[in-house]
Amino acid sequence: MSGTEGVLAARGPVAFGRPRFPAWRGHLHGSDLIWSIAFIVPYAALFVAFVIYPMGYGLWMGSDPALYAELLSDPRYVRAAVNTVLFVGLAVNVQMILALLLSGFFARRRRWIKALLVIYILPWTLPAVPAYLSFHWMLVAYPQGLPNNLLSALFGIEGPFWFNHGWLALGCDIVANIWKWMPLWTLVFLSGRMAISQDLYDSADVDGASPYQRFAYITAPLLANLYVISTLVSTIWTFGDYAPVLFVSGGTPAFASEVLSTLGFHYALDFANPPLGVAAGLSVLPVLIPVVILLMHRLKTMEVQL
C-alpha cells in the first residue's frame, strides 16, 4: 500500500485525468483475454438468467393488445396511471430541488450542521417497510395520530383523516418517498459541491459576487450534469417504488391512491390475472425507455468529457 501511495504522490494531480490505455491493450489476447472474460462471466450470467430471460418472458406475457384495451377500460387503471405521473413527477422533482438547496445548507462549515447531517441521513438508512409502517400508523388513527396531535397542540387545528381522500392519501405517499430518498441525493449533491474548487468561489468573492451569483454562475453549471443524471436515476427508481403506496396509504380509499406498480401487483395476485398485471407494468415503458436511453447517453458523453 505504501508503495502505491508513493506512486500516487509522485505523479501528482496530473495523474487523475483520463487513464491511459494499459500496456497490454490492443493486443488483449491469450491469458489476458481469457481472464478478462472470466471476470465478466459472473455478471453476464446473472444478466442473462435474471434480466434477459424474465424480461423476454414478461414482454411475451404482456404482448396481447387486448390486455391494453382491457386496462384502458378499467377506471382503476386510468386513475393509477394519473397517480403514477403525479407520484413520480412530484416526488422526484421536489426531492431533487430540495436536495440541491439543502446540500448548500449542509455545506456550511458549522459543527452543529455537521451533527444535524448525521440525523438527516437517518431516513435513508431506515429499511422501507418499518419506516413506511410508522408513517401509516401516524396517519391512520383519526382524529389522533402524531401529526394531528402536533397540529392540535401547536396550532389548535384539527387534522384531516389523511386516507379519506385519494389525492390526500397519494400526497402522503409522495411525502413518505421524499422523506426516505431526499437524504441520499442531498449527500450526492453535497459531495458534488465539495469537489468544486474553492478557488472559484474565492475569485468570485474578490469580484464581489452575490450569493445568488455564486450559485448561478459557479455551483449550478458545475453541478448540472450531476443533477440531470441523479434526476434520471431517481425517476427510474421511483417508477418501480411500490413501498410507499403499499404500506403508507395501502391504495385507499378504494384504489384511489394506487400507482401502476402496486395495481399490477393487485391484478396479478388478488384478481389472479398475471398477464394483466404485467401489462399494467409494461405500460410505463413509453416513458421509461426514453429515460434510460437519455441516461445512457449522458453517461457516454460524461466519459468523453473525462
Residues in 78-97 at the binding interface with other proteins, rule: CB under 8 A: none
My answer on whether omega of the bond before 19 falls inside 30° of 0, hence cis, is: no
Q: How far is the CB of 41 from other proteins (least distance, A)?
A: 8
Q: Is 167 in the site for other proteins (CB under 8 A)?
A: no
Place of cell 401547536: 154
Place of cell 446540500: 103
**Grid cell locating 46:** 446473472
Binding mask 47-66 for other proteins (x = CB under 8 A): x-xxx-xxx-xx--x-----
Q: Could you list the beta-strand ranges (E) of the chain.
A: none
Stretch that binds other proteins, among 71-79, 89-97, 106-114, 162-170 (CB under 8 A): 106-114
Q: How far is the CB of 39 from other proteins (least distance, A)?
A: 4
Binding residue for other proteins, selected from 147, 160, 171, 253, defined by CB under 8 A = 147
* Spatial distance between the Cα atoms of 235 and 119, rounded to a whole number of angstroms: 25
Stretch that binds other proteins, among 71-79, 89-97, 139-147, 159-167 (CB under 8 A): 139-147
Query: Which residues within the stretch 200-229 sit at the binding site for other proteins (CB under 8 A)?
Result: 203-204, 206-210, 213, 217, 225-226, 229
Query: Which lies closer to other proteins via its Cβ, residue 19 or residue 75?
Result: 19
Binding residue for other proteins, selected from 230, 231, 234, 257, defined by CB under 8 A = 230
Binding residue for other proteins, selected from 71, 91, 145, 244, defined by CB under 8 A = 145
Q: Is 264 in the site for other proteins (CB under 8 A)?
A: yes
Is 223 within 8 Å of 100 (Cβ atoms)? yes
Binding mask 281-300 for other proteins (x = CB under 8 A): xx-xx--xx--x--xx--xx
Q: Is 74 in the site for other proteins (CB under 8 A)?
A: no
* Spatial distance between the Cα atoms of 31 and 41, rounded to a whole number of angstroms: 15
**Grid cell locating 250:** 395501502
Q: Is 280 in the site for other proteins (CB under 8 A)?
A: yes
Radius of gyration of the chain (CA): 24
Q: Is 146 in the site for other proteins (CB under 8 A)?
A: yes
* Spatial distance between the Cα atoms of 239 and 158, rounded to a whole number of angstroms: 34
Q: Is 198 in the site for other proteins (CB under 8 A)?
A: no
Query: Which residues within the stretch 23-52 sit at the binding site for other proteins (CB under 8 A)?
Result: 23-25, 28, 31-32, 35-37, 39-40, 42-43, 46-47, 49-51
Stretch that binds other proteins, among 69-77, 89-97, 110-118, 165-173 (CB under 8 A): 110-118
DSSP labels, 13-59: GGGGSSPPPPTTSS---HHHHHHHHHHHHHHHHHHIIIIIHHHHHHH
Query: Which residues within the stretch 239-258 sit at the binding site for other proteins (CB under 8 A)?
Result: 239-243, 246-247
Helices (H), 107-127: 111-125
Q: How far is the CB of 157 from other proteins (least distance, A)?
A: 13
Place of cell 391494453: 68
Stretch that binds other proteins, among 13-21, 63-71, 72-80, 165-173 (CB under 8 A): 13-21
Q: How far is the CB of 165 from other proteins (least distance, A)?
A: 20
Nearest to 168 by CA among 140, 144, 149: 140
My answer on whether omega of the bond before 123 falls inside 30° of 0, hence cis, is: no
How many residues does the structure list for the chain? 306
Q: How far is the CB of 127 from other proteins (least distance, A)?
A: 4
How far apart, in Å, are the Cα atoms of 11 and each of 6, 16, 42, 204, 306?
8, 9, 34, 30, 18
* Spatial distance between the Cα atoms of 76 and 84, rounded to a whole number of angstroms: 12
